[in-house]
Structure 1
Amino acid sequence: MSSQERLVESARALLWERGYVGTSPKSIQQRAGAGQGSMYHHFAGKHELALAAIRRTAEEMRAAAETQLSAPGTALERITAYLRRERDVLKGCPVGRLTQDPDVMADPALRAPVEETFAWLRDRLTRVLDAGRDAGELDRALDPAATAAAIVAVLQGGYVLARASGTADSFGQAVSGVLALLAGHAVAPAE
C-alpha cells in the first residue's frame, strides 16, 4: 500500500474512532507510518485528507449496500440481506457517526459526502420497495419513500441503541422490528 493509501486508511479509522477534532495530523501520520513530508506531499492538510477519507468511507458504504440491494430476490429478501449483513455494530456506522461531529457538519465540503450517502441510500431503498410494489410482492398502500426513510432511521438508531447499551442485541431488535413491520406489507404469492 502506498503512503497516500496508508494516510487515507489511517484517517478513515481515526475519524470513525475519534471524530474530526480528535484526529490530529500527527496521529494520522503515526498510524500510517508516514512522515509529515509524505502527508503534505499528497494532501494540502488535514481537511483535504479528511475529505478523501470521508469520500472513501461513503463510497465503500454505498458499494456494500448495493451488493445486497441489487442481488436476486424479492424486495423484502434484498432489504433483509442489507439490514442483516455483518457489521461492527458497537463501533457505529462510519458515515452515520460523522453526523454527530459538529466540525464535520459545520463544514459544507466534509458534510457533502455524508448527505449524499444518506440521500443515495434512501433513494436506493425507495427504488427497491417501489419495484417490490410493482412486482406485486408488497401491497400498494406501502409508501416507498417514507418506508425507505424509516428503514434508514431505524438502522442508524439501532447503532445508537447498541452503543448506548454496549451490546449488539439492541441493533438486532431494531432490525427485526422494522423487518416485521415491512413483512406486514408483503403480499402472499398467488397459487
Structure 2
Amino acid sequence: MSEEQSIPDVMIVMMNPGYNNPKNPQEEFQEGIIEIIPDITLKAIISLMEDDQVQQKYSMNWCRIINLSDYEHPNIDKFIQKFDYYCDIYDDTHSLFSDERKQEFDEIFLVSPSSIVILAWGNNPQMADLRTKAYETVQDKIKQYNNKVFGWFFQPDEKHQKLCWRYSYQRAFKQYNYQAQKCKKY
C-alpha cells in the first residue's frame, strides 16, 4: 500500500469498538486491515459516506476509525464501568494518544489537507481526561474547530435525531473538518 493510499478520506476518533466482528475470524490480518461485519454505528458512517450530497463534494473511498482506548467491550455501560480499572492497570498506555505511543500515533493518524477528521467520542465524564488528551494530540491536524472540546456519538436513538444527525453531518462535510455535535430536538 502506497503512502497516498494509506491516508484515509475520513479519520474518525470514537470511544469504543462496539459490536463489529471480523467477517472471517480465521482470516489472517494483512497490513492491519480486516473486513468486518458492521454494527449499527458503522452502518451509519457508511451511509453518510455513500450519501449523494456528500459524494458530490468529496470522493470518499475509505475511513479509518481509531478508538480512545485499546480496551474494548461491546456494551458501552460495561465499558464505562471497567474503564477506570483498566486505566489503573495500564496507566495511559492503553490509549494511542498517550505520550509513550507518539510514534505509533504518527504512523496511524495520517491525514491530508483534504481529509475529514471527526471526533465522535461521546460525552461521558469518566472519559473527559482522555478526550482532552486526544484533542490536544490531534488539534494541529484539524482545520476548523468550533469551540466545543467534546464530540458526540454517531448513533442517534430517535427518528428526529437521526434526521438532524444526518443533516448536521452532511452540512459539516460540505465545509471543513469539524467536530461532531449533539442534535437538538426541533
TM-score tier (shorter): 0.3 to 0.5
Task: Pick 1 or 2: higher relative contact order, CA cutoff 8 A, min separation 6.
Answer: 2
Q: Which has the higher helix share?
A: 1
Q: Which has a greater percent of strand?
A: 2
Task: Provide the TM-score with structure 1 as the length reference.
Answer: 0.36
